[in-house]
Amino acid sequence: MEIKIWEGGLQAQEVAAIEKIKKAFKDDLLLLVHHHADVDSVASAIALKTIFHDATICASDGISVSGQNIAKITADDILPKPPTEWDGTVIALDSPNPEHCGPVPKAKQVVVIDHHGKITGWPKGTEIIHQPQKTSTAEIIFLLMKEMKLEISKTCATVLLSAIYTDTGQFRHANNETFNVASELCNAGANPQEIINILDRERPLAQKTMFLKAAQRMKWLQEGKWIIATSQVGSFESGSARLLIVLGADVAIVASGNKKGEMRLSTRASNRIVSKGFNLTTVLESVEDVNGGSAGGHPGAAGYNGKGDAEAITEITKQKCISSIRELP
């Protein structure tokens, strides 16, 4: 089976996976978004639910503020905890490994749709659509819908474009194919200004105060011509990391931890340093090699979940960043 729209490559196993997915879509669907789900993960689930109305969306570890804003478009019920078993197909969205979205229920079939650089940890028998050259999982969902000749509604187009907009850093990391997809979504009814208005809704007071705390607690150092900033917060790590980049950092590392010893890192990098070859995914994967846990993301935005002291792991990450910077041209 030749799939012309997947330029650059579907692997043979992905072609087979699509055929199985077509059959799986006739099953009861559980759409699993990753922990602290971002717009890409949430929007991909909502887009599928606009087609498969009886599907169930589940977020086992919360949804980001931006993800919540997108979820309000359809006001679909979202399960806060997955069942232990699912008599149908589970589709894990934007999740390079089970730890990103787990616990994953036992099911007749598990399907993973993801665009991150490395897919690991999924058990044998999992059907995987992995397109790391795509800038978002939403882009893969759109192309999959086209391949299956499914009708894309205005709502579906809106949520998919919102995911592409956010996951490309407001198109700063987009490529020609991304803009082609965005154009098609606009033709299907998506309104870019409407999306910006949705995403720019008034921030909750808790988020605003946490951003100020992130700035207040910030520590920074200069490595050559690059600035690395670190901070620690109780929540809203990704937004806090973006804030530090806006304030002038080239690399931002923001951590949070709890009394159970669980911790989370969110990292961001400026376009300027990424263009020189700096890659946060590589950095956090090296932290994963040292400390276990789960890392994933993109060159300019990546996250890590693990166990241990948040401050100590922040220091490890900072030293990894310094080593990586020293290798830049």
Q: How far is residue 55's CA from residue 237's CA, in Å, rounded to a whole number? A: 30
Beta bridge mates, 30: 56, 90
pLDDT digits (tens, 9 = 90+) for 65-80: 899 999 999 988 899 9
280/112 Cα distance (integer angstroms): 23
221: how many CB neighbours lie within 10 A of its CB? 12
Residue 2: per-residue pLDDT: 27
As given in the structure block, the two tokens for residue 298 are 């993109």
Query: 131 phi and psi, to 5 degrees?
Result: -130, 80
* Vertex 18 angle, CA 152 and 43, to 5°: 40
> How wide is the angle at C-alpha 48 spanned by C-alphas 44 and 53, nearest 5°?
140
pLDDT at 298: 87
* Alpha-carbon radius of gyration of the chain: 19
Over residues 263-284, mean pLDDT: 96
Inter-CA distances, 302 with 67, 196, 284, 298, Å: 17, 23, 7, 5
Instruction: Quote the CA–CA distance of 327 and 179 in Å, as a whole number.
Output: 32
Domains located in the chain, CATH noted:
12-199 (3.90.1640.10), 205-326 (3.10.310.40)
How many contiguous H segments (helices) and E segments (strands) does the chain have?
A: 12, 12
3 or 285: which carries more pLDDT confidence? 285
- Cα separation of 267 and 147, whole Å? 34
Q: Which residues 6+ apart lie within 8 Å of 249 measured at CB?
A: 220, 227, 228, 229, 270
pLDDT tops 80 at residue 13: no
What is the sign of the dihedral through the CA atoms of 161, 27, 93 and 70? positive
pLDDT band of 192, cuts 50, 70, 90 = very high
Taking residues 217-231, report their average pLDDT.
Answer: 98
* Rounded mean pLDDT, 260-279: 95
pLDDT at 60 (0 to 100): 86
Instruction: At 209, list the tokens.
Output: 């105060």
Residue 272 contacts residue 248 (beta carbons within 8 Å): no
CA distances from 272 to 134, 248, 277, 297 (A): 21, 11, 9, 18
Pull the structure tokens for residue 323: 């080593």
Q: What is the pLDDT of residues 92-131, one digit of tens each?
A: 999 998 988 989 999 998 999 999 888 889 998 888 888 8
Region of poorest pLDDT, from 5-14, 20-29, 136-145, 205-214: 5-14
Residue 321, number of CB atoms within 10 A of its CB: 28
Region 303-320: mean pLDDT is 96
pLDDT at 7 over 60: no
Q: Cα(first)–Cα(last) distance of the chain, in Å?
A: 43
* pLDDT of the residue at 200: 84
Q: Which of 22-36, 45-59, 198-212, 248-262 has the lowest mean pLDDT?
A: 22-36
